[in-house]
Amino acid sequence: MLDALLKLSTHPTIEEIYAQIHKDHPSISKTTVYRNLRGLAGGGIIRQVSLPDGLERYDGSAHLHYHFKCKGCGCIYDVDIENIIDINDAVAGKHGFQVDSHDIVFSGVCLKCKTKNKT
């Protein structure tokens, strides 16, 4: 499963990962793929990415980082910026919540689409 996820560097959905695995292992069930991906995410091996489109997506990189979703082509990119670690404490302090984690997804137009639209 991890190999299939790493081959698909596009932050794929469960369906996309299943299709990739199914090519080499046609007898595998979707239930097995779902269960194992969720287990890998729960164990911190991979990350489940929450995006506005509502589809479960997965990232082979488990370290805390952010994402950018292009409104033009729909691609999802990793954003390499310093993590806002104290944001959990700020939210907890202001609202009294217990914050375990956070996801930040930037939205806009990627460089490729931006360049394409200028020509």
What CATH number does the domain containing 49 carry?
1.10.10.10
Residue 28's pLDDT is what? 95
Q: What is the mean pLDDT of residues 59-70?
A: 89
Domains held by the chain: number: 1
Residue 119's pLDDT is what? 58
**In terms of Cα–Cα distance, which of 34, 62, 36, 35 is closest to 48?**
62
Q: Is the pLDDT of residue 18 over 90?
A: yes
Q: What token pair was written down for 36?
A: 């194992």
Q: What token pair was written down for 63?
A: 């370290």
Higher pLDDT, 50 or 119: 50
Residue 6's pLDDT is what? 87
Query: Which of the residue ranges 47-51, 58-62, 79-83, 105-109 would you say has the lowest mean pLDDT?
Result: 79-83
Instruction: Quote the DSSP letter at residue 44.
Output: T
Q: Is the pLDDT of residue 100 over 90?
A: no
Domain that holds residue 84: 2-118
Residue 65's pLDDT is what? 86
Residue 117's pLDDT is what? 79
